[in-house]
Structure 1
């Protein structure tokens, strides 16, 4: 794994790699920030803060020093920028899945060809400066499921995840934990700044992204994550991802 101990030759270094379905990179950290841009397939990123899924044509920002693991679904083509954390004072400080602008996509391609010894004031340096400018404009999207901190919510979330297709309600969580529905809502808000319903929607969406990328049909995916009809699932999916599940399947290939 790159740049765990060694240092970047430039403020920005680009790297291209393809992964087969099912590949896994165990927990590790880099001494630089990282922008992972997925061209095809899906990458699930796990940290101690929660889980993110990077769909095709999106990216994920990971600050320097954050331990993370990578789980590949489908044939994954990824382009990564490694960035000196001191390159700019206002680089993002939190993990997030982001939209990748057309300009940034083009700049990543250009950066793959940059030499290690960049001449000051030349075109190569201006490409790096423009990349750093674009990184200040990253727009995050909600392909993220936070992890709870208390043992009780960890247990509940694990229980729900194991039966994700069940028609879960606040009342179910209250029954499992032996507390009131209002207390369930309060605990989710306090620990994850989400309602139970929103946490469940995000968990189902992230699973759907992986199921579709692994080759499952829209109908099978809808059933597996607890939707009674493909149309209801498709409406939710498009509202969150911006494309229909069918179009997403084409992008994932």
Structure 2
């Protein structure tokens, strides 16, 4: 049974909340009667929903529409800043779960909102900050860190098998052989149920695992080899294409930890 958590907005369109999580912390399945934006300053948050998972790297955020059932897993020491947004605050709030880029402006606005009063006068500084936050939420850039899961039993089992052995030489043809179907048939069904091509889904699955492993302190070399990359440089090139920096720069400690 999923727990519903209600937020008292008083007269505000949103509520800002700061919370730090230790490594290994979890939040069980629950949902809110409002939308939620979780912004991480450090560590990695993995968000599970019935339709997929979203891995949130440091300095990014995850948007959860009102009523979304979800559970959280914390990797590393996570400093989180959360916005709870009234579902009627704006008519065009994002309608789907997504990992998003947090702009420098939005980051500072979230911090400022922590000190805003519950009640405020029309035209006041507090009202302008709240309204600007809502404006920024509407234009957040979506990042490719979501990992949608198929709903059919056979495809879901295949995806779970891949996640358990991400370093194996997975191809569309091999996956099709596992299901005893033609490659074109698998490609069609996979795209229809996940919205992604098989190769794109595989890349996201491996990146999701990599972010979690690196946040735990595993070395770049160990992660690259375990995920099936020929060399750390090949893995780093993929990581840089997606995140804009190498894993050594994104998780500096991962470069100095021993292999494990």
Q: What TM bracket, shorter-length normalisation? A: over 0.9
Q: 1:156 aligns with which of 155, 158, 175?
A: 158
Q: Deviations over 1:90-137 (max 9, x none)?
A: 111111111111110110010000111222221111111111111111
Q: 2:232 aligns with which of 224, 230, 239?
A: 230
- Specify the alignment match of 1:11 in structure 2: 13
Q: Say whether 1:41 aligns with 2:61.
A: no
* SS in structure 2 at match of 1:113: coil
Q: What does 1:140-219 align with in structure 2 at a 5 Å threshold?
A: 140-219=142-221
Runs of 5+ consecutive residues of structure 1 not aligned to the other structure: none
Distance 1:123 1:194 in 2: 43
* SS in structure 2 at match of 1:167: coil
Runs of 5+ consecutive residues of structure 2 not aligned to the other structure: 255-260
Distance 1:3 1:159 in 2: 32
Residues matched between the structures, number: 251
Q: Deviations over 1:59-111 (max 9, x none)?
A: 11111110111110011010001111111111111111111111101100100
Query: Deviating runs (4+, > 4 A) in structure 1?
Result: none
Q: Deviations over 1:229-251 (max 9, x none)?
A: 00000000110111110111039
Higher relative contact order (CA 8 A, sep 6+): 1
Deviation at 1:28, TM superposition (A): 0.6
Distance 2:231 2:240 in 1: 15
> TM-score normalised to the size of structure 1?
0.96
Tell me if the contact between 1:56 and 1:251 (Cα under 8 Å) persists in the aligned partners. no
Q: Deviations over 1:16-45 (max 9, x none)?
A: 011111100011111111111000000000
Q: Deviations over 1:176-214 (max 9, x none)?
A: 101111111111111112121111100000000000001
